[in-house]
Amino acid sequence: MTYAALPRPLRPRALAPGDLVVIASLSGPLDIERVPDLEQSEAVLERMGFRVRRAPLLEAGRQHWWSAAPSAEIAAEFNTLLRDPEVRAIIAHDGGNTVLGYLDLIDVDAITADPKPILGYSDISLLHLALYARTGLVGFHADLATPGLGGYWQAAPGTRRAELEKLYATLLTGTEPIGELPASPSWECWRAGRTEGRLIGGVLNRVALVQATRFALPLERFDGAVLFWEEKGGQAAHVWSYLQVLRHSGVLDRISGMVVGVPCEIDGLGAQGTPSLTELVLDVLGDRDIPVLGNVEFGHAVANLPMPVGVQVDLDAKRRTLSLLEPATQPLRTG
């Protein structure tokens, strides 16, 4: 199949040792009992060679409904970070249910003038998808600070932590392709095949939601793409329904491959009389003969492999490999 040429991705500028990374409450609040995890995440980033600062709204006990602050305040702080030349990367402290409230308040001109890595998953998927749609920005679907770097990473074996630290640091500072992401025995071939395409995705319910807004990705952006997704909570039937939304909207007819993360807390998945996640996915795909790689380590249940939105990848489901063919960042400006 031949696809039309797509816009070039806008790669953030690579970080250098000593650059400032800011942890921000881009969605949910910081619970007091999670402060030790936040401190652990700061230590991880410092070991990678970066300076770390907390944004003002990242304050234990600060809360407005289910958010760290009203949407307009979060947007104002986010825009301040985007405009500040000292800030070289922004990592979300946690996910939540807030980003839909300020998608229309983001200073996209600041992003195009000085593109920076924005890291996070869950609700932060909305930022990655909407900003990729509006500016081409490569978003880093990667671990959140508190539950990820300060949580799952700390519970992982030392060799795994070291592997992840090296991988993240290389992705943020390097300007050469990473190549194959480190696979594990958990990866499963659900449908054999090989393809190349741009990574697009995030938490499944947010992928479906953003497509219902004016910040949706144009359908042609999915031409030949490798769709990656994961999901937390709800029912197996909800996952099936979200995938059906993507089928009806035409997304599944355009992609060339799929990568599925580790499911988390989904009721009725693989129980008596209900489908496994594999069966559910293949049921929705029907006769679409595209490679599908399942149970890959990203999402709410595991320490995340980074999945940079907009980067060209090679997917070989039979061999159970996923390779980043392009860098996620561009070289630093000189002069």
Q: Which residues are catalytic, by number?
A: 122, 230, 300
What residues pair up with 45 in beta bridges, in sequence order? none
Q: Quick one: which of 135, 85, 86 has its CA closest to 106?
A: 135
Q: How many residues does the chain have?
A: 335
Q: Quick one: which of 9, 21, 258 has its CA closest to 120?
A: 21
> 274-288: string of b/e by CB count within 10 Å (b at 16+)?
ebebbebbbebbeee
Give the number of other CB atoms < 10 A from CB of residue 61: 9
Task: Determine which helix (DSSP H) or strand (DSSP E) holds 227, and give its type and residue range.
Answer: strand 226-230
CA distance 57 to 75: 11
Contact 313, 325 (CB under 8 A): yes
Ramachandran angles phi, psi of 261, nearest 5°: -80, -175
Contact 230, 293 (CB under 8 A): no
Helix (H, G, I), strand (E, B) or coil at 22: strand
Task: Determine which helix (DSSP H) or strand (DSSP E) holds 84, and give its type and residue range.
Answer: none
Q: 144: left (phi > 0), else alpha (psi -120 to 50), else beta?
A: beta
CA 82 to chain centre: 18
Q: Which residues contact 20 (CB under 8 A, 6 or more apart)?
A: 50, 51, 52, 53, 86, 87, 88, 89
CA distance 321 to 188: 10
